[in-house]
A and B are shown apart, each in its own frame.
Chain A
């Protein structure tokens, strides 16, 4: 076994892992707040907004993420005659954010809806306005309920970042693939697998911590 070689390809693949983590973080940072707003929109009284958001979540949850990536990166420049053209990484960010926000919208909506109406009534009886009630009473409780499904989505997101390789983003899988085809070495895939496992392990641990943090109370 050539350790220098092993070290070099691990470094090369790990560099791709940096991009993986970048896509992961950027997606979460933007799609979580976006999802919260969409969820609140879905729970509001505005019919048209409901309809639009319904179509949005339906389309983005109902078509393959891979297709959406192709569309953003290859399709948009075509139909706009090059007016809208993203770099590979930018196309990945945009697509992932919009796609994941669609999932988060539904998760948040379900979380908010599972808080009983007694909580709203108690808050109102104390003179709290709807917005204050949402901020102080409903959302903090909904956070606890959505943590488990959010954990699942976060793990999916780590793995989904591999799809970026098809629009030439030099993330982890793409680098591993290159090594493999250059050196005919399946070890590169094993290294990538280990790095994915490491990343998902960290995500699992973080969510486990968060769930523990919220264990101090029970929602009936």
Chain B
């Protein structure tokens, strides 16, 4: 346990990202250690999704560097601009991150078990029997064993998101990224997805979770990042942020969320 704090598995330095003239990320420095659970909160448009999407190369950074498990997918040149590894290598390194999307993005033409088995077989080239066995276990973990042969369209939103979580887990990711995993769900379905994420937390899965579920974030996180206007305004323990935040911005944000309820 002593050297746990040296087990850094993800780091970004001075990340910048613009969409046209819109400067969305303005220098994000982040370090994640193995087993940590981070929640990312903050107002809409503050760049939370963009940050996650930079981490697994769904977007490319303009400036700054990204290290995954010590390997740089993007480095800074002498001017601070991001220089990426060749796409194939980036893809390989980024497959160590699992991603769960707000809209599930399951493959509609594949059954639940096929959704899980696709990448381990086609990307990693693992034998089918072995993969199938493992994927059935993952389905058990998310409580959907009996749904293995149905198609995503026949599942509720909550069930689809649990399949999406299992699908990401099937690639044995070192870090799981969640981008508002419950925002597209009817209120009565949110609980089951949060429960599933808690199961992963109990197994010390490293996670970065963008969420608007404050109670959940407070309960599950080791660290909470408050993002505002493209920057991490506060990076601290949950109590620091939720109990009696120093920052007026955070207080206003939390108040607004409470009012919405």
A141 adjacent to B109 (CB under 8 Å): yes
0/1 string, A109-144, CB within 8 A of B gives 1: 000000000110111111111001000110011001
Chain A, interface size: which category? 20 to 34
Residue of chain B at shortest CB distance from A214: B109
Taking the closest CB of chain B, its distance from the CB of A140, in whole angstroms, is: 5
Q: Does A218 contact B (CB under 8 A)?
A: yes
A153-165 vs B, Cβ < 8 Å mask (1 yes, 0 no): 0000000000000
| CB <8 Å contact, A122 and B106 | yes
Q: Is the interface of A mostly helix, strand, loop or mixed?
A: helix
Cβ contact within 8 Å between A119 and B151: no
List A75-134 residues whose CB lies under 8 Å from chain B: 118-119, 121-129, 132
CB distance from B243 to the nearest CB of A (A): 35
Contact (Cβ within 8 A) A217 B91: no
Total cross-chain contacts (CB, 8 A): 71
Decide yes or no: A137 and B99 within 8 Å by CB, A125-B56, A127-B123 being known contacts: no
Bitwise, B40-63 to A at CB < 8 A (1) or not (0) is 000000000000000011100000
- Asked whether any CB of chain A lies closer than 8 Å to the CB of B82, the reply is no
Known: A122-B106, A126-B171, A217-B153. A136 touches B99 (CB 8 A): no
Given contacts A122-B99, A122-B105, A141-B109, 10 further A-B contacts (CB under 8 A): A118-B101, A121-B105, A122-B101, A125-B98, A126-B95, A127-B123, A141-B108, A217-B108, A217-B151, A220-B153
Q: Tell me the A residues contacting B by CB distance below 8 Å.
A: 118-119, 121-129, 132, 136-137, 140-141, 144, 216-220
